[in-house]
Amino acid sequence: MKTYFALFLLLILPASLPAQPGQPVKLNLEQAVAQALKNHPQVLAAQNQVTAMEQRVNETRAAYYPALAGDTTGSQGNPQARIGAGFLTVSRLFDRIGLGFTLSQLIMDSGRTPNLVANSRLQAGSAQQTYQAARYDIILRVNQAYYETLRSQAMIKVAQQTVAARQLLADQVTALFNNKLRSELDVSFVDVNVSEARLLLLQAQDQVQGAYAQLTRALGEQQSATYQLLDEPLPPSPPANPEGLVAQAVGARPEIAALRMSRDAAYKFEQAEADLSYPTATLVGVGGYMPYIDQITPPHKIPNVYEGVAVHLQIPILNGGLFKARRQEAHAHALEADQRLRDEQEAVARDVRTAWASTTVAYQRIDVTAQLMRQAALALDLAQGRYNLGLATIVELTQAQLGVTAAEIDNLSAKYNYQSQYAMLQYTLGALR
């Protein structure tokens, strides 16, 4: 019964349960990307920025709606006194307690509020595009860290195989030396070869630990881990010409879309600043009740209930050039946004051409290094045969072994470098998902 229950748990538990401490974390590239987008602080920060900018839209839209406030006032005054200083006021002072409400509604501000709302909407859209750009940045980092980890893990296997092969040759040469068939110089050369292979293994182990740290950072995880990654198929060959890719990138990159929206928002804000020079009309209404008021001049009794309504029209005349300066400042910021957009477009075009060239070279290196590896393997076979027949020295044989190791490393690096460069090309096009 316990066996059946354990099998049932294995079937219903999700396959993505976290690994136990010390166990490797199994991931493919798609799972790694999904985990990074869920956990990485850069993505979460950009998402919160979007939420904040969306609330700014609500803040600017609040001017469309009436504002209602409750008031409570209690005062004590000197009977028969007047306020004699300050803005020519002559209001009478008297004791009172009043409860009431003040209602205000913007009627007209010459288009300033609609322009401010449009500005905040565009800024929110820019924040959304910045959020997408943050996602793509993390996806690129995950791709690069993923392929670097695969390369480092493959290097471990190459180094282990190299150590085993050279140790085997060292054992054979030592046995021949013991039988007086090889010189001590041959033993020294193969021992050096074995030491170099072990050094290569240590370097590969160091690289794989660094790759694990980079992948952990790219995934947005706080605890370091070892990873068991699935290999990914090679992507297709790059396009023959980069010029068509430039137009695609300009239309698809979220950074450009964000700057374009920021530029449009800057022009909307310039219009809003220009609207400051035009009249503003506001409807104001008040009403309330005074449970206590000091009636100091009978029989002119002041009512306990009051209400009133007014329209306030404000027409700017002189303010020391403040509105003009604000408008010119906003115009300068709009021109600045134009140039920033242009600069980003030119930078994206450069990045696309550079990434395309690097991807093309990386793709060509795969065939070249594969051919080099075949030639190095053939050279090693020939050197081994010549050495066994006494026609070659140990130097020739060890050089052939070094050539095979270098060719294997170059071939592995070419494969994973192309996958990483292709991801970079897709990123520059705005097509990395």
Confidence (pLDDT) at 16: 39
Backbone angles phi, psi at 416, to 5 degrees: -75, -30
Which helix (H) or strand (E) segment is 281 a member of?
strand 280-293
Whether pLDDT at 341 is above 90: yes
pLDDT at 381: 92
> Which residues have C-beta within 8 Å of that of residue 377, sequence separation ≥ 6?
404, 407
| pLDDT at res. 298 | 60
Residue 330 has pLDDT above 90, yes or no: yes
Contacts of 251 (CB under 8 A, 6+ apart): 430
Residue 22: band (very low, low, confident or very high) from pLDDT cuts 50, 70, 90 = low
What whole-number distance in Å separates Cα of residue 84 and Cα of residue 107?
Answer: 34
User: Domains (ranges, CATH) in the chain?
Assistant: 32-65+109-278+316-428 (1.20.1600.10), 67-108+289-315 (no CATH)
Per-residue model confidence (pLDDT) at position 297: 60
Average pLDDT value for residue range 256-282: 95
Q: What angle in degrees, to the nearest 10, is found between the helix axes of 112-178 and 41-61?
A: 180
Query: Tell me, what's the pLDDT at 296?
Result: 62
Strand partners, 308: 286
Tokens found for residue 329: 């400042």
Identify the band that residue 134 occupies on the pLDDT scale cut at 50, 70 and 90: very high
- Residue entry with tokens 């991801």: 423
Extract the tokens encoding 223. 């605890």
Span 409-425, average pLDDT: 95
Contact yes or no for 56/123 (Cβ under 8 A):
yes
Q: Is the peptide bond before 236 cis (omega within 30 degrees of 0)?
A: no
Q: pTM for this structure?
A: 0.84
For residues 160 and 152, what is the distance between their CA atoms, to the nearest angstrom? 12
Read off the pLDDT of each residue in 395-419 and give the average, rounded to a whole number. 91
DSSP letter string over 365-407? HHHHHHHHHHHHHHHHHHHHHHHHTTSS-HHHHHHHHHHHHHH
The overall average pLDDT reported for the chain is 89
DSSP codes, 133-165: HHHHHHHHHHHHHHHHHHHHHHHHHHHHHHHHH
Read off the tokens for 243.
């010029």
Task: Identify the residue whose tokens are 């029989």.
Answer: 299
Residue 10 has pLDDT above 70, yes or no: no
pLDDT of residue 2: 40
Which candidate, 82, 101, 98, places its Cα nearest to that of 90? 82
Q: What is the dihedral of CA 130, 131, 137, 139, to 10 degrees?
A: -150
In tens, the pLDDT along 174-209 reads: 998 888 888 888 888 889 989 999 999 999 999 999
CA atoms within 13 A on the CB side of 418: 22
Is the model's pLDDT at 13 over the cut of 60?
no
pLDDT band at 107 (very low <50, low <70, confident <90, very high): very high
Tell me the pLDDT band of 388, cut-offs 50, 70 and 90.
confident
Range 415-432 average pLDDT: 94
Per-residue pLDDT, 300:
66
> How confident is the model at residue 14, as a pLDDT?
39
Residue 111: φ, ψ to 5°: 90, 0
Which has more pLDDT, 316 or 2?
A: 316
